[in-house]
Amino acid sequence: TQLLEQSPQFLSIQEGENLTVYCNSSSVFSSLQWYRQEPGEGPVLLVTVVTGGEVKKLKRLTFQFGDARKDSSLHITAAQPGDTGLYLCTASYDKVIFGPGTSLSVIP
Amino acid sequence: GAGVSQTPSNKVTEKGKYVELRCDPISGHTALYWYRQSLGQGPEFLIYFQGTGAADDSGLPNDRFFAVRPEGSVSTLKIQRTERGDSAVYLCASSVVGVGEQFFGPGTRLTVL
């Protein structure tokens, strides 16, 4: 059974702090996606990473795909309250699998 | 433009009843997905349609769950003899093709009493 693990499960930080969340699997991904979900809404795609070692930046968010394509990280610089939400990673094996998510709360 | 819409937004039913949940995907999207999300968890894959046919229904938990997409657009998720454990948010997503960015609807919150 392919599983995606995410850590930490919960994270509460002050506005302006930096943070990193992780997504890991024992399996190799062909690609991985990060989504953010706000309460009462569906997930919204942030980025897709495809190549091992790839780094993508989206404003204050930096996404990295591990060299072995088994793990990924999301780093947020100078977090803002608007970054609050559930951060989900997802990969496709024989079907689409989502990780359990990291619930981020940024306190003003 | 219009995104993915789901109706109803909330559904409360009694144990043993039948429910239907509707998803209107983005026009022109051939792929449609249903997920179930419990509190504090990531979405759990249920079924994937490519056009009118179910390309992968391996995530449906049992035969009480069934989904259709008769004209390759709107889809309905049907749950028979609902159980309290079916309570969750049911999410629908669509994409242009089978791989690529999925656009999610806001979900239907199902509560089985």
Q: What is chain A's pLDDT, residue by residue, as a tens digit (108 residues)?
A: 568 999 999 999 999 999 999 999 988 888 899 999 998 899 999 999 888 899 999 999 999 999 998 999 999 999 999 999 999 999 876 677 899 999 999 999
Nearest to B45 among A40, A97, A103 (CB): A97
Nearest 10 degrees: Cα torsion B54, B109, B74, B14: 80
CB-CB neighbors (< 8 A) of B101 in chain A? 33, 45, 48
User: Per-residue pLDDT tens for B70-108?
Assistant: 999 999 999 999 999 999 999 999 998 766 789 999 999
DSSP chain B: ----EEE-SEEEE-TT--EEEEEE--TT--EEEEEEE-TTS--EEEEEEETTEEEE-TT--STTEEEE-TTSS-EEEEE-S--GGG-EEEEEEEESSSSS--EE---EEEEE-
Q: Do B44 and A43 touch (CB under 8 A)?
A: no
Question: Which pair of tokens denotes residue A8?
Answer: 């930490």
Min Cα distance A18 → chain B (Å) is 23
Give the number of residues written for chain A.
108
Gap from A72 CA to chain B (nearest CA, Å): 17
Asked if A101's CB is within 8 angstroms of B41's CB, the reply is yes
Structure tokens at B97: 């093709």
